[in-house]
């Protein structure tokens, strides 16, 4: 089994961090991207190194194409190449009906969740070797629509799913597998950013499996899709949403 040199955007907190720890447990070296929270990046690096893993962290706003190109340069230099990219960074904003959202917010949500995914995918397509792999972190919102809360976010994740389908076919001749995961309600900080810090506690019991998911449970699906165990899986979008 290859030691997959892996770049994870938004890799320092939540689902990205859990994915990085899972990669490290498999002996895969990781480059973690984050936007600005250096304390969280340091904590993630310390946790991975304590577990015996190899990790580096790089600040970059994935919504800026020049910063994405620099990030890939830095990751390749630090790891000696790249075999896998996890397109994970994403944001929500305050819950509200679409009618109340400002154009500035809509522009930000589309740029960070969809345009940035295209920038990362473009660099990955240019740089990954034959046999490499990409996993996109979408959301169950892509099929549920998130009415009254964040239909803007849901729409961008629908775009990410379509990107997964198209890129899987585009890169298949190079044996690059491209897949996605759609997490449901997962216990991370993202809900506080939407103004719903109690979302996990409140909605957990209403979900089919009776609870919210953990970042580690999503990470397990991501690293399985990356691994040789999923060698014939491409263009798949796996729900990790507790039956929702
Ligand atoms: P999180 O805990 O809020 O962590 C977000 C991570 O993304 C942080 O490392 C953050 O960096 C980074 N980030 C945010 N904006 C960025 C930008 N412009 N450039 C670079 N990095 C950026 O989020 P999470 O809950 O783990 O979510 C990860 C992914 O899963 C997202 O795509 C999200 O949409 C998706 N998802 C989450 C849930 C859920 O319930 N949690 C459900 C479905 C889908 P800083 O620390 O520097 O801010």
Per DSSP, the three-state class of 63 is coil
- Residue from 41, 66, 89 to probe ligand 1 pocket by mutation (most atoms less than 8 Å from CB): 89
Cα gap 121→167, rounded to integer Å: 8
Which amino acid residue places its CA nearest to atom 8 of ligand 1? 10
CA of 113, closest atom in ligand 1: 32
Q: At what angle do helices 116-127 and 151-171 cross, to 10 degrees?
A: 20
Q: Is the pLDDT of residue 2 over 90?
A: no
- Residue from 43, 90, 183, 244 to probe ligand 1 pocket by mutation (most atoms less than 8 Å from CB): 90
Cα gap 71→177, rounded to integer Å: 22
Q: Rounded to two decimals, what is the model's pTM?
A: 0.99
Cα gap 189→184, rounded to integer Å: 14
Q: Which residues line ligand 1 (CB under 6 A)?
A: 9-10, 12-16, 33-37, 40, 61-63, 88-91, 112, 137, 139, 183, 185-186, 188-190
Taking only the tens place, the pLDDT of each residue in 65-90 is 999 999 999 999 999 999 999 999 99
Give the count of alpha carbons within 13 A of 119, CB side only: 23
Cα gap 96→76, rounded to integer Å: 40
How far is the centre of ligand 1, averaged over its atoms, from the C-alpha of 145 (Å)? 19
Taking only the tens place, the pLDDT of each residue in 16-42 is 999 999 999 999 999 999 999 999 999
- Residue from 7, 9, 10 to probe ligand 1 pocket by mutation (most atoms less than 8 Å from CB): 10
Cα gap 172→88, rounded to integer Å: 21
Neighbours of 106 (CB within 10 A): 15
- The DSSP secondary-structure symbol of 61 reads -
CA of 11, closest atom in ligand 1: 9
Cα gap 74→52, rounded to integer Å: 22
Active site members: 153
Which run of H or E residues covers position 73? helix 65-79
How far is the centre of ligand 1, averaged over its atoms, from the C-alpha of 173 (Å)? 31
Taking only the tens place, the pLDDT of each residue in 168-220 is 999 999 999 999 999 999 999 999 999 999 999 999 999 999 999 999 999 99
Cα gap 57→10, rounded to integer Å: 10
Least confident of 1-10, 40-49, 153-162, 214-223: 1-10
Per-residue pLDDT at 1: 55
């Amino acid at each position: 089994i290859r030691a997959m040199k892996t770049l994870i955007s938004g890799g320092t907190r939540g689902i990205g961090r859990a994915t990085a720890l899972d990669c490290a447990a498999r002996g895969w070296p990781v480059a973690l991207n984050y936007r600005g929270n250096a304390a969280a990046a340091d904590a993630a690096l310390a946790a991975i190194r304590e577990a015996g893993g190899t990790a580096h962290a790089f600040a970059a706003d994935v919504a800026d194409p020049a910063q994405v190109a620099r990030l890939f340069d830095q990751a390749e230099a630090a790891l000696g190449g790249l075999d896998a990219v996890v397109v994970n960074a994403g944001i929500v904003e305050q819950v509200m009906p679409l009618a109340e959202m400002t154009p500035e917010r809509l522009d930000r949500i589309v740029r960070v969740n969809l345009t940035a995914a295209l920038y990362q995918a473009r660099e990955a397509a240019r740089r990954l070797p034959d046999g490499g792999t990409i996993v996109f972190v979408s959301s169950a919102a892509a099929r549920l629509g998130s009415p009254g809360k964040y239909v803007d976010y849901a729409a961008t994740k629908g775009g990410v799913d379509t990107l997964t389908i198209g890129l899987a076919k585009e890169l298949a001749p190079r044996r690059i597998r491209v897949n996605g995961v759609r997490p449901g309600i997962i216990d991370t900080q993202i809900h506080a950013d939407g103004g719903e810090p109690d979302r996990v506690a409140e909605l957990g019991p209403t979900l089919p499996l009776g609870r919210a998911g953990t970042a580690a449970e999503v990470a397990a699906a991501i690293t399985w899709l990356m691994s040789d165990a999923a060698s014939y899986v491409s263009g798949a979008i796996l729900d990790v949403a507790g039956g929702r």
